[in-house]
Structure 1
Amino acid sequence: MMIPVMNVQRQYASLQDELDKAALEVLHSGGYILGPKVADFEKQFADYCGAKYSVGVGNGTDALVIALLAAGIGQGDEVITTAMTFVSTAEAIAQVGATPVFVDIQPEVYTMDPSKLEAAFTDKTKAVIPVHIYGQAADMDEICRIAHAHNAIVIEDCAQAAGAKYKGRRTCSLGDMACVSFFPTKNLGAAGDAGIIVTNNEDFYKGCLAYRVHGSGINGAYTYARLNNQEFDESKIDFHGNLPKYYNYLVGFNSRLDALQAAMLSVKLPHLDSWNERRRQIAAIYNDKITNDKITKPVVADYNEHIFYVYPLRVEDRAAFRAFLEERGVTTGVYFPVPMHEQACFAGLGYKHGDFPVAEDLAEHGVTIPMFPELTDEEIQTVIDAVNAF
């Protein structure tokens, strides 16, 4: 049997009774959209991150789009992000009408290179989205310093980094907003698509609340006034006895974290730190026992507590390595094979091969081996033996 890169069934099995009970409670309640389960999880997750507010949404991509809109970013604006990420990061920028501007990543740690950031700013730059890729935080102090000096906000892309720490502080509490994906394979995974936005900024919080429900209600009216530099007087808002959701002030979305997903995540959240610790233990074993000099192992920045969403290697002949491991029952993955500036959907931005050499090298030579908390010691040793035999 193949050892998978990730395995969600084992995690479900370890919490089956609790998860089944939570799901049945929601199904019996009849309250499936937002409601107390979602509100409870939003508070739990904000508290976990050390932040004031969180807004559950349909998925991580929606989280990025809604966060950008809540900050008033749109047509004619520029947003800087990394050339090495999943397409959602750059896609969200384009979806709000702004232009993605890419910078290269740091060698070895693979996060946004702050030394390349200053040169990417123009008078159109309104935000920076650093990506905590593979479970390791970007150098947020330096990124925030540069961004805020240019009056740009910082939105953390924490899709792969729920629970990671930077200088002792959790991700999601380091920028002006943060966006998380709860895709089932993530360190904190739902039973389907789900996401969340975290912030300490009340204006952004109200904007996110509005945009996730069609731009409606009091939060929609407030955010419309804020984004249009108008005075807001709540006493003048009259819904004439009707539901506020029928009064729409912004063109928003139907993107709500549903109660079933919130219930699943509430069961899992108390286990996240122990799961992440197990990932670090597995990574430490890999670091110690992988001795093949054809393999470059990941580096953890000294200011970070990595959570190893994946365990990334660099191998010169990736295709041969992947085939070799497959023959020995070990599955591998590639995160990600095409950097953003070389994606066909961004061809119109005018970038070319060679513009971001570190990201391009990782795209060509990066490969991941199995990493999830439920890996057995025997499986870990099988992976190590296969890697060393290459």
Structure 2
Amino acid sequence: MPINVWDYLREYDELRDEILAAVDRVFRSGRLVLGQEGIKFEREMAAYLGVGDGVGVNSGTDAIYIALAALGVKAGDEVITVPNTAVPTVSAIQTLGAIPVFVDVRDDDFLMDVDQVEAAITPRTTVIIPVHLYGQCVDLDPLMAVARKHGLKVMEDCAQSLGALYKNRPSGSIGHAASFSFYPTKVLGAYGDGGILLSDDAEVVRLARSLRFYGMETQYYSERHGYNSRLDEVQAAILSLKLPRLDGWIERRRAIAARYNKALAGSGLALPRENAHSRHNYYVYVVEHETDRDGVLERLAKRDIHCNVSYRWPIHIMRGTADLGYREGQFPVAERKAKRVFSLPMYPHLTDEEVETVIDVLKDVV
């Protein structure tokens, strides 16, 4: 049988009765949008992270741009982030008419090089978005210090880092706001799409609630330009029943990562590094092959081991962002990583036997 980089069917088999019961409960409630299931899940997520409150939205992308809007970002403002991220990080900035400004990443952990941030700040900078890529947190204490020095806000992009820790603090609990994705592949995935933004700032939460619903505070009366972005009741109910299992699933991911680490040492692959200040959630287990990444992937696929690349192209060299004026060579670490990285199969329901098969085949083809 093929071994895929991700699969949800075993999880569904395990939770099927509970999921169907939750869906039936929603359908019988008479309320499909902005009901008690959504409110419950928002409170549970806020409690899990230890922050003030959450606002459920339609996707992780929406969570970013609504959080930015609630933080006051407007057209023409600059938002600092990194080029080795998913397109949504940048498209969310551009949805507001703001301008993405990139800094390079560190060679050892793929994360924002905080030492480069201060030089990228201009009078138009309003927010910094650290992307907690692959499930590990950016070094936030020095980044928050830079933000305080310049009067800037920090919006954590936690699409891949739910359940990760930074110095024993939950990812998403440190910045002025945080965004999360519940795309099905995530460590806490919906059975569709969904997202949430969270903040300790009650005014940010209040504005976000209005912005997700056309800028309304009273029905049919708009107070400000807004959007249509609501986490539906079905997805909220499913996410709520899965949330208590999250820590156990992360421990299973970490156990799989430990097996990979031990077995693949000396294999010719560069393995991921967990920083001393972090607890990695191993949303993905990313390795590097210096010279023949695509050849390795092709040989693995022929043996029914199907991996993924996150991401083949840094944002700044894509045609869709050519208007930003960047050129190849400006962010050499991100560009070099994009040619080398790939992700091994990683999800909690992988069996030990499948993990060993991945290891054996990978060592053979490398």
TM-score computed with the length of structure 2 as normaliser: 0.98
1:377 aligns to 2:352 (yes or no): yes
**Aligned residue identity for 2:258:** A
Q: In the alignment, what sits opposite 1:303?
A: 277
SS in 1 for 2:229: coil
For 1:343-382, list aligned pairs within 5 A. 343-382=318-357
Q: In the alignment, what sits opposite 2:255?
A: 281
Q: In the alignment, what sits opposite 2:38?
A: 38
For 1:331-350, list aligned pairs within 5 A. 331-350=306-325
Q: In the alignment, what sits opposite 2:121?
A: 121
Q: In the alignment, what sits opposite 2:71?
A: 71
- Contact 1:131–1:157 (8 Å) recurs in 2: yes
SS in 1 for 2:359: helix
Figure out how many residues of one structure are paired with residues of the other and give that number.
Answer: 364
- C-alpha distance in 1, partners of 2:318/2:175? 27
- Contact 1:82–1:130 (8 Å) recurs in 2: yes
- C-alpha distance in 2, partners of 1:255/1:170? 25
Runs of 4+ in structure 1 displaced over 6 angstroms? none
SS in 2 for 1:348: helix
- C-alpha distance in 2, partners of 1:73/1:291? 45
Which structure has the larger Rg over C-alpha atoms? 1
**Aligned residue identity for 2:304:** G
After superposition, the CA RMSD in angstroms is: 0.9
Instruction: Structure 1 unaligned segments of length 5 or more: list them.
Output: 218-243
**Aligned residue identity for 1:256:** R
- Contact 1:160–1:309 (8 Å) recurs in 2: yes
**Aligned residue identity for 2:48:** Y
- C-alpha distance in 1, partners of 2:114/2:182? 27
SS in 2 for 1:250: coil
- C-alpha distance in 2, partners of 1:326/1:343? 26
- C-alpha distance in 1, partners of 2:261/2:121? 38
Q: Could you say if the C-alpha distance between residues 108 and 137 of structure 1 is closer, same or farther in structure 2, counting changes exceeding 3 Å?
A: same
**Aligned residue identity for 2:350:** L
For 1:102-141, list aligned pairs within 5 A. 102-141=102-141
- C-alpha distance in 1, partners of 2:149/2:73? 18
1:94 aligns to 2:91 (yes or no): no
Q: In the alignment, what sits opposite 2:268?
A: 294
Q: In the alignment, what sits opposite 2:59?
A: 59
- C-alpha distance in 2, partners of 1:195/1:131? 16
SS in 1 for 2:63: helix
SS in 2 for 1:297: coil
Per-residue deviation, 1:354: 1.0
- C-alpha distance in 1, partners of 2:152/2:318? 26
Per-residue deviation, 1:294: 2.1
Q: In the alignment, what sits opposite 1:176?
A: 176
Partner of residue 237 from structure 2, selected from 263, 274, 295? 263
- C-alpha distance in 1, partners of 2:156/2:33? 27
Per-residue deviation, 1:292: 4.5
Q: Which 10-residue stretch deviates more, 23-32 or 275-284?
A: 23-32
- Contact 1:213–1:245 (8 Å) recurs in 2: no
Instruction: Structure 2 unaligned segments of length 5 or more: list them.
Output: none
